[in-house]
A and B are shown apart, each in its own frame.
Chain A
Amino acid sequence: MSNSPKISLTDLHKGFGTKKVLQGVNLDVAAGESVAIIGGSGTGKSVTLKCVLGLLTPDSGSVKIDGVEMVGAGRNAQDAMLAKTGMLFQGAALFDSLPVWENVAFGLIEGQGTDRKKAYDIAIARLADVGLGAEMADMSPASLSGGMQKRVGLARAIATQPEILFFDEPTTGIDPIMGDVINDLIVKCTRELGACALTITHDMASARKIADRIAFLYQGKIIWDGPVADVENSDNPYLQQFISGNTEGPLDLDLKHL
C-alpha cells in the first residue's frame, strides 16, 4: 500500500457554538480502501464528511487529501480536490429545478464539460446501475419516493467516476433487496474501479459487505478502528454494545429515563 493515504484526518475538532461535536477525530483511508464509519445518531458522522469536503471549516486539526492539506487551502486546491470526489448526501440533496437525468449528469455537464447528448447516455446507464429505468429520466426529483431519491443521489455521486467517494447512509430508507444492489454497486466502485470510499452507515450488514475497515465514532472521537473481520471479536465494550443493539451497556445514550 502506498505510504501516503488518500484521506487523512488528524485531530479534527468541530463545534457549533458551545456544543462540541468532533473532539479529535483521527482516521486514514488508503487508496482503493473502503472504510465505513458507524456510530450513534447525532455523533457527528455527517459533520465529519462535510469537514473533509470543505463544506464546513474545522475548528482545528488537519484534513489531507492525497497528501494536500485542505484546511485553509485556496480555491484551486479545493477545486482540484472536488473534481476527484463524489458525495451522496444523507437527504439526497437533488436539484429540484432539474429533471432526474440532469441531476445525474450534472457533474459531467457542468464540471467536466461533457456534451449533453453523451452525458444523457451516461446518466441513463448510471440510473440503470441503481435500479432505476430510463422512464424516470425526465421526471422531477420531487415526484420520486425517498428511496428513489437516494438512489438518484448515488448515481449522481458516481457519475463522474471519482477517485474518492463519500456516501452518507446509502442504504437508509431503501428495501433490503435494493439495499443489496446498492451494496454491490459500492463494492464494484471500490474493488473493481479502484476508488476509495468513506461510507457512513447504521446498517451493520451493509458495513460488513462494503467495507474493508470499520471506524466507530463515539463522543467526538474514533474510539475503535479495525478490519471488518475483527469487529465481532473486538473486546471494546462500546463497540460490542453498539453492534448488538443493546440498551444496557457502557454507551451514554442520552436517554431520559422517566
Chain B
Amino acid sequence: MPILAPIGRVFLAFLAVVGRVTVFAAKTLLHCVTPRFYFRLILKQMCEIGYFSLPVVAMTTLFAGMVLALQSYSGFSRFSAESAVATVVVISITRELGPVLAGLMVAGRVGAAIAAEIGTMRVTEQIDALVTLSTNPFKYLVVPRVLAGLVTLPILVFIGDILGVLGGYMVGVNKLSFNSGAYIQNTFQYLETLDVVSGLVKAAVFGFIITLMGCYQGYYSRGGAQGVGQATTNAVVSSSILILISNYIVTELFFVR
C-alpha cells in the first residue's frame, strides 16, 4: 500500500526523536547532579529566565483572573450561583491557568531565546570551541538553563497566582459589586493546599520541559541561520505541546484516584 509507507516512516522518525530527547534529558539530569557546577551561570540564567519573564507572566495572569471573574459571574448568575465566583477564580488560577498560561508564555519567550542562542553557538562552532577548552557543553550551557527553569517557573507561577486572584478581586469588587471582605473570605474558604502545590509542581515540570526543549533543539541544530530559525520554531512548538500533554498527566496524577 503506497499510503502505509509514509505513515510508517513518519512514525519511525517520531520514535527516533522521542529516543533522542529522552537520552538528552537523561544526560542533562546526570550532569545536574555531578560536579562541576557553574553557580554564576545558574544565577545569570535565573535572572534571564525568571526575572525577565515576570512582566509577561504578571500581565497574563492578572488579565486571566479578571476575565475569569467576569465570565464565571455572567455564567453562574443564570442559576444564581454568583457567590461561587471567588472560589472558581482562585481554583482555576492556581490549578490550571496560572501554570499553563505562564508556561506557554515563557515557552515563547525563553524557549525560543535558548534555542536561538545555543543553535547559533552550534553553527558557529562555539560549542566545539568549548570542548577544546576542556569545558563540558552540557554542564556549561544546558544544566544552568534547565536548573534555572526548574527553580524559577514555580516562583513565577506563585506570583502569577497572587496576581490572578488579585485581578479577580478587582473585577469582583469594582465591577460586580461584591463585598470586599466576603470576596476574600470566599477565596480562601474552599482553597486547599493541594490546589496551589499541584500548580507549582506543574510549573516545575513546565520549566524543565521549556528549557530542555530549547537546549535540545539548539544543541542539534545545523545548517546555518536557517537551521537556527527552524530550531527556534521547533523549540516553541514542541515545548508548547509537551506542556499541554504533561499538564493533563500531572493533573490526573494529583486528582484522580
Q: Which of B7-15, B89-97, B120-128, B233-241 contacts A (4 or more CB under 8 A)?
A: B120-128
CB contacts (< 8 Å) of B129 on chain A: these are 87, 89, 93-95
- A106 located at the interface, meaning its Cβ lies under 8 Å from any Cβ of chain B in the complex: yes
Distance between Cα atoms of A26 and B124 in the complex (Å): 28
**What does the 1/0 interface line of A92-103 toward B look like (CB < 8 Å)?**
011111000000
Taking A83-B134, A93-B129, A107-B134 as known contacts, 11 extra A-B pairs with beta carbons closer than 8 A to each other, sorted by chain A number, are A50-B128, A53-B132, A87-B132, A91-B124, A93-B126, A106-B133, A106-B135, A110-B134, A110-B135, A110-B140, A111-B135
CB contacts (< 8 Å) of A190 on chain B: these are none
Contact yes or no, B126 A82, CB < 8 A: no
A161 to chain B, nearest CB (A): 14
Number of A-B contacts (CB under 8 A): 48
Q: How many residues of chain B are within 8 Å of chain A by beta carbon?
A: 14
Please classify the interface of chain B as helix (H, G, I), strand (E, B), loop, or mixed, using the class held by over half of its residues. Answer: helix
CB contacts (< 8 Å) of A254 on chain B: these are none
B158 to chain A, nearest CB (A): 29
B157 to chain A, nearest CB (A): 28
**What does the 1/0 interface line of B85-129 toward A look like (CB < 8 Å)?**
000000000000000000000000000000001000100111011
CB contacts (< 8 Å) of A86 on chain B: these are 132
Task: Show 18 residue pairs from A and B whose CB-CB distance is below 8 angstroms, ordered by the A residue.
Answer: A50-B128, A55-B128, A55-B131, A55-B132, A82-B131, A82-B133, A82-B134, A85-B132, A89-B128, A91-B124, A93-B125, A93-B128, A95-B130, A106-B133, A106-B135, A110-B134, A111-B133, A111-B134
Which range holds the interface residue count of chain A?
20 to 34
- A79 located at the interface, meaning its Cβ lies under 8 Å from any Cβ of chain B in the complex: yes
Contact yes or no, A89 B134, CB < 8 A: no
Seen from chain B, the residues whose Cβ lies within 8 Å of a Cβ on chain A are 117, 121, 124-126, 128-135, 140
User: What residue in chain B is nearest A55 (Cβ atoms)?
Assistant: B128
User: What residue in chain B is nearest A106 (Cβ atoms)?
Assistant: B133
Distance between Cα atoms of A24 and B84 in the complex (Å): 77
For the complex of A and B, the 4 pairs showing the least CB-CB separation, nearest first, are A111-B134, A93-B129, A93-B125, A87-B132
CB contacts (< 8 Å) of B121 on chain A: these are 95
A71 to chain B, nearest CB (A): 16
Distance between Cα atoms of A85 and B132 in the complex (Å): 7
